[in-house]
Structure 1
Amino acid sequence: MGTPDDRAPLAERVGQLLDGGLPLAIVAAGDPVLRRVTEPFDGQLEPALLARFVEALRITMRAAPGVGLAAPQVGVPLRIAVIEDPAPVPEEVRLVRGRVPQPFRVLVNPSYEPVGDVRAGFFEGCLSVPGWQAVVARHAEVRLTGQDEHGRALDEVFSGWPARIVQHETDHLDGVLYLDRAESRSLSSSQAMAERWAQPAPEEAARQLGFELP
């Protein structure tokens, strides 16, 4: 199966994409689809096709593996993302980062706003920027609004690591990559992360690499 025709109607393109097999290919940084503001979802995919697409996002996210995946990351410019985090981390990491399990959920037309002024900086990666991580200062708590895949309203406050996931995936839908918000001096390869910066918090990385934390 070839690449979906960008000139075809969106539903047709999504159908072609899904017919190509799973997991879907993840788009890498440099593809313009990752830099475009996505189209709000307003029934462009009929319910059965939407359900297939959501399932494809779930399968692709888990296969990567990742804790979130946005539609543009598989080449679809729709305001849809999925998140899920089993959070299989040591207790110290859980406490420092606020990383707690998150069930699978679908975010349709999501947006977020900060709750309070507290920000936290941690290393962050992206399936569309494989092999690298960088420290990003993000809101420690956010209010997410939008809908789920059935059109039901979402209005929920997230804190800690779940708030980071929500911000990262929603940013994708606005054409923003985590690198746009990162401390550039913190950029580290996967090898450097394993050898040097595996600590729960990035204070030592900040000291040695020369960047500021909030």
Structure 2
Amino acid sequence: MGTSSERAPLAERVEQLLAVGGPLPIVAAGDPVLRRGTEPYDGQLAPELLARFVEALRVTMRAAPGVGLAAPQVGVPLRIAVIEDPAPVPEEVRLARGRVPLPFRVLVNPAYAPVGGARAAFFEGCLSVPGWQAVVARPAEVRLTGQDEHGRALDEVFTGWPARIVQHETDHLDGVLYLDRAESRSLSSNLAVTERWAQPTPEEAARALGFEMP
């Protein structure tokens, strides 16, 4: 565990963020905090401050709205993220993408590993890259390990869209943006995705834009 002098700057930064109230400002791509990786959480925030920070992440994620938010996305380089997906999608999308409701979860010091060799490719966006989406091929099933906000161990297998969410948010904690893993030719504005590529799978976009599906 770090010394109190090492922990203080992060705690002070979080206190300053929370003092404003309401949803926290989300950092956009180009800010170095999104690329430097994060410190493992090891008590840098006192329990009460951690609880307040987690609640602020939840409020910010829901207000955006998004299905996940990592601490560096609000300028805090700690290995903490929140996820939640009510999955309000049509049945055909649910079946194609495996998008099922994901209750609110806090991930502390998460890490993931693929389970099996299956991969799935879909359009993906990010609150730190507003206005754009791109197709990303990811493992279809992953094992997530880490802790929750109370220090209880997490060891769980995720499939479908929940697996994509935990990979996306854990990547943030390693300084990785979804664009690093994306098919560059698939990059599309949100408007183009809505008007042209709203199908349950991106095969039509792959043919029209000239990229290969996995």
Q: TM-score, normalised by structure 2?
A: 0.96
Amino acid at match of 1:170: T
- Which residue number in structure 1 is paired with residue 3 of structure 2? none
Shift of 1:185: 0.0
Of the structure 1 ranges 44-53 and 14-23, higher mean CA displacement relative to structure 2 is found in 14-23
Q: Which residue in the other structure is 2:66 paired with?
A: 66
Structure 2 equivalent of residue 28 of structure 1:
28
Matches within 5 A, 1:103-114: 103-114=103-114
Report the 3-state secondary structure (helix = DSSP H, G, I; strand = E; otherwise coil) of the residue aligned with 1:9.
helix
Between the aligned partners of 2:195 and 2:82, the Cα distance in structure 1 is 31
Q: Which residue of 2 aligns with 1:96?
A: 96
Identity %: 87
Q: For residue 202 of structure 2, what is the aligned residue in structure 1?
A: 202
Aligned length, in residue pairs: 207
Residue 55 of structure 1 corresponds to: 55
Equivalent residues in 2 for 1:1-214 (5 A)?
9-214=9-214
Deviations 1:138-176 (A, max 9, x none): 000000000000000000000000000000000000000
Distance (whole Å) between structure 2 residues aligned to residue 135 and residue 13 of structure 1: 34
2:64 and 2:82 map into 1 onto residues whose CA distance is: 13
Summarize deviations over 1:65-108 as a string: whole Å, max 9, x none: 00000000000000000000000000000000000000000000
What secondary structure does 1:42 align onto?
coil
Q: Secondary structure at the match of 1:83?
A: strand
Give ranges in structure 1 of 5+ residues lacking alignment. 1-7
Deviation at 1:37, TM superposition (A): 1.2
Q: How far did residue 208 of structure 1 move?
A: 0.4
Amino acid in structure 1 at the alignment position of 2:73: Q
**Structure 1 residue 47: deviation in Å?**
0.2
In structure 1, what is the Cα distance between the partners aligned to 2:22 and 2:179? 28
Gaps spanning 5+ residues in structure 2: where?
1-7
Give distance in 1, aligned partners of 2:147 and 2:175: 20
Q: Residue 5 of structure 1 corresponds to which residue in structure 2?
A: none
> Residue 191 of structure 1: CA displacement?
1.1
